[in-house]
Structure 1
């Protein structure tokens, strides 16, 4: 004679395995999305640093205004220099990058 609990235990075991698999997939998806967001933030900061580097180089060679507005794709950057060129700052909607010059070196915040 067949045991009716055997079919129920197989169903229960299958539901538990499916729920565990679903939780693992959801956890993996959340971790992947978090890593992609971090990568995007780092990329935006790198773009801001690159824009600041280009503007500092241009300012040191050609001079010009102490405050500038740059458009890179969809992002708008504001670059500001101090008169003695001891500090330069670029700000965007998400990030702010500052460079401080000392006598023979510089420091990026």
Structure 2
């Protein structure tokens, strides 16, 4: 059994990150990836390493963030969506009837690819 001791009077546990803090880290990682790769075609399991000003390295699960954000685009507020639009994110195009969130250029899709995530073409 691990030995637990009470905290010292001046010792505090690390502060939890708020949703806004977590959000700020992910687009920063996306900007870094985009600057290096010139796209946001991030593999689902990709982990991006960010270096903080104090020298600490943060590992961001960027692939998971981008994939989940694309799937939940309709739940993003306008500011967050605009921030990702500025990076050139390709939103998923599902034929759900909710045309408000269809942002993929339909001209680039052949008829067989409509409805596939990110406007992917079939081989």
**Would you say same fold, with TM above 0.5?**
no
- Largest Rg, 1 or 2: 1
Q: Answer 1 or 2: which has greater strand percent.
A: 1
TM-score normalised by L of structure 2? 0.29
